[in-house]
Amino acid sequence: MKILDLVLKGKWYDMEVSGEKPEEYREIKGYWIHRLLRGGYIRNTIPLFQQYTHVRIRRGYTNITALFPIKEMTIGYGNPEWGAPTEREVFIIKLGKREDTTHATKE
């Protein structure tokens, strides 16, 4: 299992855990190109995504996490109601059914 770890604002975390938001977005910029693609990004070609199997989302910088399988990773226009910009394409990480949730407490 190869896990992609993402930190989310509480609003987006809660929507994804509840199933209301079934995808996560990341900007097409150097950091995410390097992290999500193999061999960089060339427009009008089929991108080769890293072989992530799951995404673990974290509610801010807390110990609260949820694990989802990745159904698909694409590039396109996301839903603005779920935080995607309207004027440009983004990486879209489509989530499967939640597999695990950890609500850790501080010790």
Q: Is the pLDDT score of 103 beyond 60? A: no
Please give the pLDDT value at position 15.
96
Strand 64-76 relative to strand 54-59: parallel, antiparallel, unpaired? antiparallel
**Within the chain, where are the H helices?**
10-18, 30-36
What tokens appear for 44 in the block? 């009008």
Strand 54-59 relative to strand 100-103: parallel, antiparallel, unpaired? unpaired
Torsion angles phi and psi, residue 29, rounded to 5: -135, 165
What length is written for the chain? 107
Q: Average of pLDDT values for 32-59?
A: 82
Please give the pLDDT value at position 59.
96
- The CA distance from 104 to 44, in Å, is 43
Q: Is 107 helix (H, G, I), strand (E, B) or coil?
A: coil
Query: 3-103, superfamily in CATH?
Result: Hypothetical protein. (2.30.130.30)
In the predicted model, what is the mean pLDDT of the chain?
Answer: 89
Domain map (residue ranges) of the chain = 3-103
Q: Is the pLDDT score of 54 beyond 80? A: yes
CA 26 centroid distance within chain: 7
When mean pLDDT is compared across 38-47, 63-72, 94-103, the lowest value belongs to: 38-47
- pLDDT tens-digit readout, 63-85: 999 999 999 999 999 999 999 99
Model confidence, pTM:
0.85
